[in-house]
Amino acid sequence: MRKFADIVNDANIKNIDITFRSQTPHYYFGKHIRYYFYFHVIGTGIINICGIVMGVFAFIYPHLHRESPVFTQILQVIINLL
């Protein structure tokens, strides 16, 4: 039985193209996948920065955080359960 490396070597010696390439590799809905990736990274970065800023703001000004509707309606229920 022949090894795969021998088959590839024979193909290279005979100059046979053994690769398979799609006509449009990495294209989805008419756009390259990098296009979607770039916008995903930008959006994720903006959301992460907003979350970090809100967390720092809540840490520096806890009285404003405790007066917010999020704290009074949602987090207060969790605190009462504990």
Q: What is the pLDDT of residue 57?
A: 87
Q: 50 in a domain, yes or no?
A: yes
Q: What is the pLDDT of residue 66?
A: 75
Q: How many domains is the chain partitioned into structurally?
A: 1
For residue 75, what are the domain limits? 26-81
Average pLDDT over residues 28-57: 89
- What is the H or E stretch that residue 2 is in? none
Give 3-state DSSP helix, strand, coil % of the chain, rounded to 5: 70, 5, 25
Q: What is the pLDDT of residue 13?
A: 59
Q: What is the pLDDT of residue 82?
A: 75
Give yes or no for residue 16 having a pLDDT over 80. no
String of b and e for 47-67 (b: at least 16 CB within 10 Å)?
A: eeeeeeeeeeeeeeeeeebee
Q: 67 in a domain, yes or no?
A: yes
Q: What is the pLDDT of residue 70?
A: 74
